[in-house]
Amino acid sequence: MKWLGCLGVIVVLALVVGGVAVGAYNNLVGLGQGVDAQWAQVENQYQRRADLVPNLVATVKGAADFEKSTLEEVVKARASVGQATIDPKNLPNDPAAMAKYQQAQDALSGALSRLLVVVERYPELKANANFRDLQAQLEGTENRVSVERMRFNEKAQAYNTARLRFPTVLFANLLGMKEKAYFQATPGSQQPPDVKFNFGASPSPTPAERR
């Protein structure tokens, strides 16, 4: 009878532990699927931006004497983005791969920003309806990228928080369910930009001009 009682206790404990493990696993799977789905949204917006670049470059190349180095920088950054991919099997559990992916995307963001600054010197480009349309699409996509990245971090945080809770963390480690990496702020973005308006020194008015 004693052995039967001990066996019954062991069976009950096993069922309880098994139930907790199954619940923890299913919860992490659900949260992980949310992270993966949101990652797809981030990639969609990045791809949309990358698809705009060739048309943007082609339009800008039509401007007379446009700065060649600026265009080359954009083309090079666009090529780097195409090479920076994350294996869906590790989506996105590898902080190093995530950092490399983000670095490539941020490089393209910087190159495009510099391109749009240079365009200000070309009135004929600013008046080009095709360029204005591409610029509006690009700016809209950049905004959507920011939103989707923020949502991704929220999903990743929910997953990571659930994963680190006890006793889920024990089962997660046993099952190899790793933490999700976050998008990090671009270095220097926490500092406000140094904006300087230099319109040139106006000469002092002559006595005749004062009159």
| Cis amide prior to 207 (ω within 30 degrees) | no
Per residue in 141-174, pLDDT (tens digit) is 999 999 999 999 999 999 999 999 988 898 888 8
Q: Centre a 10 Å sphere on the Cβ of residue 13 and count the other Cβ atoms it contains.
A: 10
pLDDT of residue 196: 36
Whether the CB-CB separation of 105 and 81 falls below 8 Å is answered with yes
Whether the CB-CB separation of 163 and 28 falls below 8 Å is answered with yes
Local confidence pLDDT in tens for the 211 residues of the chain: 667 667 666 777 777 777 778 888 899 999 999 999 999 999 999 999 999 999 999 888 877 677 888 889 999 999 998 887 777 666 678 888 888 899 999 999 999 999 988 888 888 888 889 899 999 999 999 999 999 999 999 999 999 999 999 888 988 888 888 899 999 876 544 343 343 333 344 444 444 444 4
How far is it, in rounded angstroms, from Cα 174 to Cα 8? 26
pLDDT of residue 96: 85
Question: CA Rg, the chain, in Å?
Answer: 27
Kindly report the pTM of this predicted structure.
Answer: 0.77
DSSP label at residue 64: T
Identify the structural domains of the chain with CATH numbers, from first to last. 9-183 (1.20.1440.20)
